[in-house]
A and B are shown apart, each in its own frame.
Chain A
Amino acid sequence: MKKTDPRTKLFLLIAINVVMMTGKITGIFVPIRIILTLIPLLLMIREKWYRSSLLYFLAYLYVFLLEGYTLQDIPKVPLIILLFTTGLISRFLAGLMMAYYMMKTTTVSEFVTAMERMHIPKVVVIPFAVMFRFFPTIKEEWQDIKNAMKMRGIGLAGRNPLDVLEYVMVPILMSVSRIADELTAASMTKCLSVDGKRSHIACIGFSALDVLLIICAVLGLFAHFFVGGIIGA
């Protein structure tokens, strides 16, 4: 199975977010929204994330079945709940899942390769690549610091909140900056520099599926901008 190209993922993410979040939901936008909703579902099933796929499917099923009732005359309380939940899910969930899919399935080197194919300069690419690595690192560090605070009896109760903030932020910043420092040194010894060419072993490229997905996204965006999809336009 050929992997989806990181550039496709990025483009889909942008398209889905723009159309789903800021677009209209009637007329020709009904089929467009359905197609864009199905894209993350399809990609997730392809990765064999059956549990997430099912939950995602059920969430949208809920939206498509019940969204219509918000236009009818029903009591206030269920109406508010319905408006709120369907609105939230239909506007945000697809984009969110697409972002999750992109983060989970793209390795740093694929990402770097894709960015360089788009001729984005290294000074931009490298910090982004490091970010990928730092989210899990910060999570690990935060977990450890929380445990240590608990151990030492430094809690929220009875202390100046500013002190507590200091107790949390100082070790986190110190340890993240130390990791960044050591990481820079290690990367330098591995010949990483902002100038100079790199080669790539990551195999990225567009497959038929990529082309299909991009066509869907382009159609969605086209309708959005030129067939009056923007709300209020």
Chain B
Amino acid sequence: MISFSNVSFYYKNNLTDKGNLNNINLEIKDGELIVLTGESGCGKTTFTRLLNGLAPNYYHGTVSGKLMMDGENIIGKSVSELGRKVGSVFQNPRSQFFNVDTDSELAFAAENIAMDPKEILKRLDEVTNMLDLKELRGRSIFELSGGEKQRIACGSVAVMHPKVVVLDEPSSNLDSASIDKLKNVIETWKNLGKTVIIAEHRLYYLKDLADRLIVIKDGTIAKEYSKETLANIDDQLKDMGLRPLCEPKIKTISAECNSRDQINIEELDYSYDRKTSALLLKETVLPMNQVTAIVGQNGTGKSTFLKCLCGIYKAKKDKILLSGRVWDRKLRNKACYLVFQDVNHQLFTESVLDELIIGMSKDISENEKRTEASNILERFGLLDVADNHPMALSGGQKQRVAIASSIASGRDILLMDEPTSGMDELNMMRLSKELGRLKEMGKTVYVVTHDYEFINECCDSVIRLE
């Protein structure tokens, strides 16, 4: 059993109150599956960090209260000591592997506690069967997709036979098929009687599994729902700015194209290694002057498609027409603006405001640029951080800055790769509104996304890549 009594945690060197926890009281029974949710920065991640010991051992701060696990106060215990009992899966699949190959990674934790190699090999086989990892064994980490990496991360935790598993937004980089697989893994753990604690903002995949849903707001427990009451709380969640529990379905949207302008892709063929095609499109029509969603499973080349379309990638065969005229790579590069999936690579300047101004057209005066940039920032709720360094922002804020600078660029065609991955309900609605505004201005937006709620909110048509 895990029990929090009057647990508070305040991060060191934290200017805002973000992520802090105030006076938490909670009991978690053995074998329970708890889902923690709340807006970004509410403290749900801190919850998981207290359980695996990263707070206060690695993320420093002041902690008070008692956190008991199996009759022992675990506050003050070292991370590696807790690691024998508590397994952790993190949000970013790119940064949680120590090794370069999957087999070493699966065995890594067990090796670190000097487990007998024979036992490790036995457990590797067991976990491979249990979590269906056969085709991922013996591969390089760098050739796996995000979903596959996350499964290996779960596997490397399972090898330790932990009593407790904590997951910090494990689904945020995954598509719906990978989320289904993740769900299976979590279900397996639940059936094995492990205590599972998941901090998440995407909730639908946990609906059937959760024993309790806990909403955290400003570092305190705002609301607690038991399994029985989970069925009808979507409206309440929405009011609190949270994602719904029901799996959203794409409304049937006509893929018909009303506008006169359109992009015709006659042929687009791109491959990374000159052998297998990563993307092969023929005779495809993209509607213009509206918001179009591009969906499809991981690995169908959605991101590759955007990069080819805006001219960053050079396709082997590349024949695209804009309103009947040849539209080559150079022209596309000038007309399009792509917001990348990983926002950490696309912010370059020293302040959020500069970030928007740097990409603006050179014809406008400096003053006008500033006003326009401030307006855009306000619409994204970023005005109060306008003078901050972009790299000092939270992930969700960076994402909004990147999107805001794409809008500031004034280009006619905007491409966005998973723009809502780190967004709570409030910010997702902000973005939807903004895209509606762009549409009214006659701009064209293509979004690669698997956020169906977002699609229903603002997309005019949906294209599925197979």
The chain A residues found within 8 Å of chain B, CB to CB, are 107-109, 129-130, 132-133, 136-137, 140-141, 144-145, 147-154, 166-167, 170-171, 174-175, 178-179, 182-193, 196-202
Contact = CB atoms under 8 A, between A and B. Distances in A.
Given A109-B108, A132-B100, A147-B340, A182 B95 contact: yes
A170 B390 CA distance: 11
Contacts of B96: 182-183, 186
A133 to B, nearest CB: 5
Contacts of A185: 54, 58-59, 90
Contact of B101 (A107, A140, A189): A107
Contacts of A152: 346, 348, 358-359, 405, 409
A171 B347 contact: yes
Contacts of B113: 191, 196
B88 interface: yes
Given A183-B97, A190-B108, 13 more contacts: A107-B104, A108-B104, A109-B99, A109-B111, A144-B340, A152-B348, A170-B391, A178-B344, A179-B94, A189-B87, A191-B84, A201-B107, A201-B117
Closest 5 CB pairs of A and B: A190-B109, A109-B104, A148-B346, A186-B96, A182-B95
B115 A199 contact: yes
A141 B82 CA distance: 32
Contact of A187 (B98, B115, B337, B345): B98
B13 interface: no
Nearest to B108: A190
B240 interface: no
B368 interface: no
Nearest to A187: B98
Residue of B87, B107, B307 with most partner-chain A CB within 10 A: B107
B79 A151 contact: no
B204 interface: no
Question: Dominant SS at the B interface?
Answer: mixed
Interface residues of B, number: 62
Contact of A144 (B114, B342, B359): B342
A189 B346 CA distance: 30
B54 A189 contact: yes
Contacts of B104: 107-109, 202
B33 interface: no
Contacts of B100: 107-108, 132-133, 136
B80 A192 contact: yes
B58 A188 contact: yes
B254 interface: no
B133 to A, nearest CB: 16
A190 B112 contact: yes
Given A148-B340, A201-B120, A107 B58 contact: no
Contacts of A191: 80, 83-84, 109, 112-113
A151 B346 contact: yes
B120 A174 contact: no
Given A140-B142, A201-B120, A189 B52 contact: yes
Contacts of A192: 80, 98, 108, 112
B462 interface: no
B37 interface: no
Contacts of B359: 152-153
B176 interface: no
B273 interface: no
14 contacts: A109-B99, A109-B101, A136-B100, A147-B307, A171-B346, A179-B94, A183-B97, A186-B96, A186-B98, A189-B83, A190-B98, A192-B112, A198-B112, A201-B121
Contact of A188 (B79, B110, B121, B338): B79
A149 B90 CA distance: 29
A148 B346 CA distance: 5
Contacts of A202: 104
Nearest to A193: B80
Nearest to B124: A201
